[in-house]
Structure 1
Amino acid sequence: MHMGDTESRSSRICNPWWNQSGRKQRQKVEVYSEVLTRLKELNVKEASVPGFDDELWAHFYYLPTRYALDMNVERAQDVLMHKRLLHMARFPATATGPAIEVRLVQVRASSAANSRICDTPQYSDIPATIFHPPPAFASSSNLELDQCKSQLQAEDKSRHFNFYAHYARPMHEITISNNDKPKLLSQLTSLMSETGLDIQEAHAFSTLDGYSLDVFVVGGWPVEETEKLKRVLAKKIQKLEEQLQLKENGTIPTAEQGNNGFKFISSHVNFATNGNDVWDERCLRCEKKIASGSFSDLYKGTFCNQDVAIKVLKEDNLNENIQREFYQEICILSKIQHKNVVRFFGACTKPPNLYLVTEYMSGGSIYDFLHIKKAVLSLPWLLRVAIDVSEGMKYLHQNNIIHRDLKTANLLMDDKGVVKVTDFGVARVHNQSGVMTAETGTYRWMAPEVIEHKPYDHKADVYSFGIVLWELLTGKLPYEHLSPLQAAVGVVQKGLRPKIPRHTHPMLVELLNRCWHQDPSSRPNFSEILEFLLHMTIKVAGKGDGN
């Protein structure tokens, strides 16, 4: 079995994305450009839709460089299929079943492995067969076969086609996308074997945001029953996913006492806003306190053997405002799900034990990363973080949620370096009038209209993002020589903004000035910001900047 992805899942932590060479990044851009050109030359309808260029780049951007280098660019349309399957995996609610595609492909017959297929004269009596496209990620022998086919087509000799048919045989290519879980590849391999399929090649790719794209070339199934194979596999994959979900959310019959002396009764994402817990059979294990604030403590724990963070409100400092923010945060978290928003598991809403459970982000906050660990971000790395934040904020705004406290302390990293937005204690659902008032957030990152208690909308988050972007660029605290109140007065009365370093990339300078523009209507929305950042990554990767 040929494993096409040398940047394997086991090596991602040892070889993080920010260590990729500029040369490989440029190669990825070159493949992206060639695929885009081919799709437009083929008059593919999807390629003519405004914004497609950026969507296609985002597809390549989140996949490893090996995906671009191994793919058969002659089959540019396969990229659209991969893009569609990944979308189905990321947003399963929009899909009608598992993200799977099965098709017939033409591969080189193993009996011809030791012969030069274009040079053998014994072909005149071989019957012709129907030709199928080559695999999306062809091995060297299949690439040789495809090149030979092109040569023979140019020569237009039917006997050569007969020969090609003899040495090429149809097989099934199976492409599956899923949430990238431990041992997923081995589980899929076992599933193929149980179905009676003989795996000839396998190519496994993991995206930066935690999804998989696995491609298998298999034999052992009648070529005329492609649709049946797809139905059989879809049913088995669905069953596998249900088993994994049950294992992840398995019930535990009795509650357990936490290390801090109070009982954890957890609740699931189907949170009831009437203040009653909705699960009462699952338990949390509280392991250790990892942070403490004025109103809450943060613990690391496990939920059904998965690492989680447990935010526990302090009973002594509990007041009406704190409880209101707590319930507001749970209400918002229970309704959203995105790869760049911290995942919500559940909460206990019965006083005095008030706590909520989210995924554990082992990389910590971007604030600590910049100001405590003193990390310096290269331009490609900065763009990666900015794109993650923009993806999460775009999703929130599309769901009419204004964060109102966007800052580096509320941006967390997981073990793969994916950045996610968190802390929705002061977030609000945008009301229909479009007008929101009252001061909220943190002064150094706060938009002037919010500081002045003026009506504001989602563009207040865009201003905060501009300050975050400057912080990523400089590694400094905004207005570090001023108190928070002095900074707020300067922003409102003097139009104060952080000083942009002289040698900053011109596109970044433009984006900063647009995001923190005094007039909210002149600021871009996060869809525009994301499009801008994706364009910028192409330019940076193409020039090798920041390496």
Structure 2
Amino acid sequence: MRVVAWSLPRDGDLGLNICEAHAFNTKDRFSLDVFVVNGWAGGGTEELEEVLSRRLQELPPPVVRGASGSPPSSAREQELRVPQEELDVLARQATTGAADNDWELDPNEIIFHEKIASGAFGDLFRGSYCGQDVAIKILRNVHEDSQQFQEFLQEVAIMRKVRHKNIVQFIGACTQKPNLCIVFEFMSGGSVYDYIRKSGPLRVGTVLKIAVEVCRGMDYLHKRKIVHRDLKAANLLLDETGTVKIADFGVARVMDHTGIMTAETGTYRWMAPEVIEHNPYKEKADVFSFGIVLWELLTGRIPYSDMTPLQAAVGVVQKGLRPPIPPNCPPPLSDIMRLCWQRDPNVRPSFEQLKVKTEELLEVYRQQDGAGGVRKVPHATAGSAAPVASGSSGGLLARLRGSSGGSHSGGGGSGSGRPK
């Protein structure tokens, strides 16, 4: 694992307990965006940003070393992005106001309603545009040469390129300062994360339906060389019909001809080992995250909830830590999860393969549902194998076993438990 050395003050200096952090490679080699902290006694997010900014300005540049102790090569450090010339065009538009694209919105035509969420660098509002309900992502206090502004341009450039039933639809953006915002279709069903927090573990049929829709959207993205890099239930949204759509492309990237990335980004509990280690990675990093998402849907829980995010990341890399397979999980789904979170990315299936497999399993499940009825999956308890469907003894589980194509325990090692 590469070590990023900062001469940071002791935690007590700032009174912070950092719980969640995303790390990005930048022109100055490293930057750290803190998303979740405990123990801050200040006056809010803005004051925290100011204190952190002052403290970070006092620090020397970070030292980044590989496993051998030597700095990484420029090739390994390279971050893959939308072509720079495209970002330069967007940046000029933001500076000069010379934007004549059909996706460039007039801020005077955007109507704001209630605030939905707030973050360190922006807010999310519900609003309307040309009579359509929309979600509006606004950036606050963003400077032209800042990392946040570059991330904003990256997200706009990527969202302009995609249009798929299972991806949140981009309506347009305001790239002219100071009105920086991105407008999407409004997803009235909220996030899948919130849904499973309220309803608990989902029926196997519902898990398969969500899995199919995520695989379709991710297959579309990967075939266009777009890597999401932060796939999790919180970034899956539901529309009024219950269709699942992939959202939040703030850290997504377009792969260039080398198809390799090294930046550590995403959320630790869902992050692939190669991403945590800053090793070169490709689109299969998203496949690892998808395996963790399946576990979320089946259990209704946060992965490694008894650990801090950093403890979980170390366990994933050094001890082969994976979430325990729920005892009531049908074998074909457990096979898919184990394949997705294999240590070797080359062993993981593609989303094209996963799409076919989940579609087949969903069809089998629907046939069983029509024949015998389906009950909601209860909370799993140790040593129990709760029934998934009513009907004859040769029902869903037997048929899914027959369609699984055999068991793949895989070489990842610890897919069924945690290290002692």
TM-score range, shorter chain: 0.5 to 0.7
Which residue of structure 2 lines up, in the alignment, with residue 403 of structure 1? 228
Give matches, 1:144-163, under 5 Å. none
Contact 1:287–1:300 under 8 Å retained in 2: yes
Q: Give the TM-score of the pair, scaled to structure 1.
A: 0.49
Which residue of structure 2 lines up, in the alignment, with residue 515 of structure 1? 340
CA–CA distance in structure 2, aligned partners of residues 311 and 462 of structure 1: 27
Residue deviations 1:130-167 (CA, integer Å, cap 9, x gap): xxxxxxxxxxxxxxxxxxxxxxxxxxxxxxxxxxxxxx
Which residue of structure 2 lines up, in the alignment, with residue 337 of structure 1? 163
Which residue of structure 2 lines up, in the alignment, with residue 40 of structure 1? none
Which residue of structure 2 lines up, in the alignment, with residue 424 of structure 1? 249
Which residue of structure 1 lines up, in the alignment, with residue 152 of structure 2? 326
Which residue of structure 1 lines up, in the alignment, with residue 359 of structure 2? 534
Deviation at residue 368 of structure 1 after TM alignment: 1.3
Greater relative contact order structure (CA < 8 Å, 6+ sep): 2
CA–CA distance in structure 2, aligned partners of residues 338 and 280 of structure 1: 21
Which residue of structure 2 lines up, in the alignment, with residue 285 of structure 1? 111
Which residue of structure 1 lines up, in the alignment, with residue 301 of structure 2? 476
Which residue of structure 2 lines up, in the alignment, with residue 95 of structure 1? none
Which residue of structure 1 lines up, in the alignment, with residue 321 of structure 2? 496
Closer, same or farther: CA 296–317 of 1 in aligned 2, 3 Å: farther
Say which of 348, 351, 362 aligns to 2:177.
351
Does residue 448 of structure 1 match 2:265? Answer: no
CA–CA distance in structure 2, aligned partners of residues 280 and 546 of structure 1: 47
Which residue of structure 2 lines up, in the alignment, with residue 487 of structure 1? 312
Say which of 259, 264, 273 aligns to 2:90.
273
Amino acid at match of 1:377: L
CA–CA distance in structure 2, aligned partners of residues 292 and 319 of structure 1: 23
CA–CA distance in structure 2, aligned partners of residues 375 and 284 of structure 1: 36
Residue deviations 1:326-362 (CA, integer Å, cap 9, x gap): 1100000001100000000111112222111000001
Q: Give the TM-score of the pair, scaled to structure 2.
A: 0.63
Say which of 253, 258, 272 aligns to 1:433.
258
Secondary structure in 1 matching 2:125: strand
Contact 2:174–2:182 under 8 Å retained in 1: yes
Structure 2 unaligned blocks of 5 or more:
1-87, 94-98, 376-420
More helix by share: 1
Closer, same or farther: CA 316–438 of 1 in aligned 2, 3 Å: closer
Matched-pair identity in %: 51
Q: Which has the larger radius of gyration?
A: 1
Amino acid at match of 1:382: V
CA–CA distance in structure 1, aligned partners of residues 227 and 286 of structure 2: 7
CA–CA distance in structure 1, aligned partners of residues 144 and 250 of structure 2: 14
Amino acid at match of 1:397: H
CA–CA distance in structure 1, aligned partners of residues 124 and 294 of structure 2: 27
Deviation at residue 539 of structure 1 after TM alignment: 2.0
Contact 2:168–2:246 under 8 Å retained in 1: yes
CA–CA distance in structure 2, aligned partners of residues 349 and 316 of structure 1: 12
CA–CA distance in structure 2, aligned partners of residues 342 and 456 of structure 1: 25
CA–CA distance in structure 2, aligned partners of residues 286 and 480 of structure 1: 36
Structure 1 unaligned blocks of 5 or more:
1-270
Closer, same or farther: CA 458–306 of 1 in aligned 2, 3 Å: same
More off after superposition, 430-439 vs 447-456? 430-439
Closer, same or farther: CA 317–298 of 1 in aligned 2, 3 Å: farther
Residues paired across the two proteins, number: 276
Contact 1:275–1:350 under 8 Å retained in 2: no
